[in-house]
Chain A
Amino acid sequence: MSDTIKPAGNSTDDVGVLDADGQPISSTQLGEWSLSSDIPREETTLSGDWEMVIGLEVHAELSTNTKMFSPATNHFGGEPNTNVHPVCLGLPGTLPVVNGKAVELSIRLGLALNCTVQRCVFARKNYFYPDMPKDYQISQYDRPLNINGWLELPSGYRVRVERAHMEEDTGKSTHVGDSGRIHDAGYSLVDYNRAGVPLLEIVSHPDVRGPEEAKAYVAELQQILIATEVSDGKFEEGSLRVDANISVRPAGSSELRTRCEVKNVNSLRSLGRAIQYEAQRHVDLYESGDKPVQETRHWDEEGGRTRPGRSKEQAEDYRYFADPDLVPVDPSPEWIEEIQASLPALPRERRAALVELGATVDAAVIAVDRGLDSLAVGAIEAGADAARVLSHVANNLAVEGAASLDSDRFAELVKMETGGDLTATQAKTVLAELLVSDKSASDIAAALGFEAMDTSELEGLVDRLIADHAEEWDRFVNGDDRERGKMQGFFTGQIMKATKGQADGKVVNQILSARRG
């Protein structure tokens, strides 16, 4: 059994996008877009003097209670065909009615991607395949809801977003055959639970230049979807799906060569691998005097390669036309403003807030990805050391419930650590306890017996150890670097053992150096 694959075809290929007045949007209207800015771009990972040209199409399922055009439950999983309604089944006499919440969420994402939100219409995309019982999918074509936006990567580079339009998801057909391959005889089983789930298709311009940049774009889009609560952004449940349009060209040229659309990419890692494979395939074809043909290809995760999708040429003509069952959506300026005002701080702004407080960009990315940035900001503003705070966020707080930790309690812990009251190891232990109890860091440290060791106490201990281990001490004082390093480890280990790990390693080293003279 395997998931079947739809006929090849690209819903938005070469669509002339129109603005609200019905005027085509030309690329010059998109504003000055400097591709040669100061922002460092990904180095080419291709052989020879080639660069990649990548455009991404991301499908995100919206977090609504019900489907796009029917009041059936929008819920992942469940027994087959239980979340269905006569509309999802395309039964005669049924009519679609637009879910207002789905439109609101779509505008929300459009605004978060800096798009122009415009009057739009739904269109029928006609094709025959059992995953759509009506024999057409309701989508948007030349008048999408959101146009002309951009998404800024953590590097600062902005990828232009051509459009983000509304559509309905398809059902799921599972082929049952001898080898589980679609072209074998056999039959398919169809489950319409997913049919009609509201989707946003977000289409970028071909501004992406490499696998890492593509992954950064999708990861950022995923963060935005989650932050705005437009979608749960889960790859593993199919809430997020990515197709990549890939071509290559001689480095530095501005031509656009034949592209292939790679589908079936189910994780960020697969996306990077698929792009690298497909782009190199194009380079190899050009360098051997051949050239790629425009087609849809499927990523084969196990084989680490892309394979052509099998489709009849004519299947690419979807005969789009405005759906007469649905009237246009024309969001009022007041509604758009209201939605704009309700947008939360976006990941980009949240990273900037942390960088402002002294975080590196990488540390800020991690903190925001984990949803721990407000904890970090709170702790830093309460006087805790930024570097220590972010180090804990990166290394010790990748756990359930960390985001609900009180920033003042966290700040107290970090201050105890930087003040020398706790060693790094002790701080980690106290932190783990902080997450599961409501005691303060100092109370937890006291209960665990993590008293700061008096330096004079430590000195006494070091002196006793020197007396007990005269031979080792001699090797420490008179040995070569290697020997000294070994013996330093020996004495530190003994001290840690004697103090049950409570001694501060830095202080121990200072005492050892001082005694050595």
Chain B
Amino acid sequence: MALLDRLSAVSEPLSRDDVAKVAGLAMLELSEEELDTFTGQLAAVLEHAKDVEALDVADVSPTHHPYPLVNVFRPDEVEVTDVREAALDAAPEAEDGQFRVPPALGEEP
């Protein structure tokens, strides 16, 4: 969000570094070639967004969802679902009824 705000605020074209940063945040490993490809594609998407920016939308209320629905609620009633064994069985590793995972991701070993 912060990145996009900055881009739209200063009208800077999307850079390869920006794409590398976004890819890093999404934990995607992109090759040099892919970085070039996606920088071009994403820049085109942002350009298109700028077309919309050019319109006067003062009288248009923002759309947060394509469906014209609000307040879709569920009653506060418990549904017992016994999924523990099945979920732990499907996990790569489990121990003592818990999911066993590598040390916190993104942390130095």
Q: Which residues of A contact B (CB under 8 A)?
A: 4, 7, 21-22, 64-66, 71-73, 79-82, 84-86, 89, 91, 97-103, 119, 121, 126, 128-130, 141, 143, 173-175, 177, 182-192, 310-312, 314-315, 317-322, 324, 326-331
Tell me, rounded to whole Å, the shortest Cβ–Cβ distance linking A36 to chain B.
35
Docked-complex contact A81 and B106, CB < 8 angstroms: no
B100:A188 contact, CB within 8 angstroms: yes
How many chain B residues have a CB neighbour from A under 8 Å?
Answer: 46
Majority secondary structure of chain B interface residues (helix, strand, loop or mixed) = loop
Nearest residue in B to A89 (C-beta to C-beta)?
Answer: B87
Contact residues of B with A, CB < 8 Å?
A: 1-3, 21-22, 24-27, 61-62, 64-65, 67, 69-81, 83-84, 87-88, 95-109
A73-B78, A330-B71 as given contacts; A185 in contact with B100, CB under 8 Å = no
Which of the residues B27, B70, B79 comes within 8 Å of A327, measured between beta carbons? B70
User: Given A97-B74, A188-B104, A317-B25, 20 other A-B contacts at CB below 8 A?
Assistant: A21-B61, A65-B76, A71-B78, A72-B79, A81-B97, A85-B81, A86-B83, A100-B75, A130-B99, A173-B104, A185-B109, A189-B101, A190-B101, A310-B108, A311-B106, A317-B2, A317-B3, A319-B22, A320-B1, A330-B71
Q: Judging by beta carbons under 8 Å apart, are A186 and B103 in contact? A: yes
Tell me the smallest distance from the CB of A133 to a CB of chain B, in Å: 8
| Nearest-Cβ distance from residue A404 to partner chain B, whole angstroms | 28
Residues in B neighbouring A98, C-beta threshold 8 A = 72-74
A72 to B67, CA, bound (A): 27
Using known A-B contacts A189-B99, A319-B25, determine if residue A329 contacts B76 with beta carbons closer than 8 Å: no
Could you tell me the distance between the alpha carbons of A278 and B84 in the complex, rounded to whole angstroms?
Answer: 42
What are 6 pairs between A and B in contact, CB < 8 Å? A100-B73, A100-B75, A191-B98, A310-B107, A319-B22, A326-B72
In the complex, the chain A residue whose C-beta lies closest to that of B21 is: A314
CA distance A147 to B90 in the complex (A): 43
Neighbour of B83 across the interface among A79, A84, A99, A324, CB < 8 A: A84
Could you tell me if A85 and B73 are in contact, using CB atoms closer than 8 angstroms? no
Is there contact, CB below 8 Å, between A99 and B73?
A: yes
For A321, list chain B residues within 8 Å (CB).
1
User: Which of these, A81, A102, A130, A324, contacts B101 with CB under 8 Å?
Assistant: A130
In the bound assembly, the distance between CA atoms of A110 and B51 in angstroms comes to: 39
Measured between beta carbons, the chain A residues less than 8 angstroms from B24 are: 314
Query: Which residues in A have their C-beta under 8 angstroms from that of B83?
Result: 84-86, 89
Using A182-B103, A188-B101 as known contacts, say yes or no to A84 and B84 having CB atoms under 8 A apart. Answer: yes
The residue of chain A having its C-beta at the shortest distance from the C-beta of B67 within the complex is A327
Contact of A64 among B2, B76, B79, B88 (CB under 8 A): B76
**In the complex, are the beta carbons of A66 and B73 less than 8 A apart?**
no
Closest chain B CB from A132 CB (angstroms): 11
Q: Which residues of B contact A102 (CB under 8 A)?
A: 76
Selected from B71, B72, B103, B106, the residue in CB contact (under 8 A) with A188 is B103
Would A182 and B70 count as touching, CB distance under 8 A?
Answer: no
On chain B, the residues within 8 Å of A322 by CB distance are 64-65
Q: Are A183 and B109 in contact (CB under 8 A)?
A: yes
Is A7's CB under 8 angstroms from B106's CB?
A: yes
Q: How far is the CB of A502 from chain B (nearest CB, A)?
A: 57
Contact A128-B76, Cβ < 8 Å, known A81-B87, A319-B25: no
Across the interface, A175 reaches (CB within 8 A) one of B61, B79, B104, namely: B104
State in angstroms the CA–CA spacing of A183 and B103 once bound together: 8
Q: Cβ of A91: which chain B residues have Cβ within 8 Å of it?
A: 87
CB-defined contacts of B1 to chain A, threshold 8 Å: 141, 317-321
| A190 B98 Cβ-Cβ under 8 A | yes
Residue of B nearest to A14 (CB): B2
Contact B98 A80 (CB under 8 A): yes
| Residues on A with beta carbons closer than 8 Å to the beta carbon of B62 | 22
Chain B residues, CB < 8 A from A64: 76
Cβ of B94 to closest chain A Cβ, rounded Å: 9
Considering the complex, give the chain A residue whose CB is closest to the CB of B68.
A327
B98 touches A81 (CB 8 A): yes
Q: Report whether A189 and B95 are in contact in the complex, using a CB–CB cutoff of 8 Å.
A: yes
Check B100 against A65 for contact (C-beta < 8 Å): no
Which of A183, A328, A331 lies at the interface centre, i.e. has the most chain B CB atoms within 10 A of its CB? A328
A317 to B27, CA, bound (A): 13
What is the bound-complex CA distance between A51 and B103, given in angstroms? 40
Least distance between A192 CB and chain B CB atoms (Å)? 8
When C-beta atoms are compared, the residue in chain A nearest to B1 turns out to be A320
From B26, B78, B105, A129 is in contact (CB under 8 Å) with B105
Q: How far is the CB of B95 from chain A (nearest CB, A)?
A: 6
Is the pair A80, B96 in contact by a Cβ cutoff of 8 Å? yes
Interchain residue pairs A-B with the least CB separation, the first 10: A100-B73, A101-B76, A71-B79, A189-B98, A330-B70, A190-B99, A97-B74, A327-B69, A130-B101, A80-B97
Contacts of B71 in A (CB 8 A): 100, 327, 329-331
User: What A residues does B99 contact at CB under 8 A?
Assistant: 81, 130, 189-190, 192
| Contact present for A100 and B81 (CB under 8 Å) | no
Contacts of A184 in B (CB 8 A): 103
- In the bound assembly, the distance between CA atoms of A73 and B105 in angstroms comes to 28
Q: Which chain A residue shows the least CB distance to B4?
A: A319
Task: Provide the bound-state CA to CA distance between A324 and B102, in Å.
Answer: 30
Task: Using A65-B76, A98-B74, A101-B76 as known contacts, say yes or no to A187 and B88 having CB atoms under 8 A apart.
Answer: no
Given A80-B96, A190-B101, does the pair A327, B72 have CB atoms closer than 8 Å? Answer: yes
The answer to whether A66 touches B76 (Cβ under 8 A) is yes
**A18 nearest in chain B by CB position:** B62
Question: How far, in whole Å, are A330 and B65 apart by their CA atoms in the complex?
Answer: 13
Q: Are B101 and A187 in contact (CB-based, < 8 A)?
A: yes
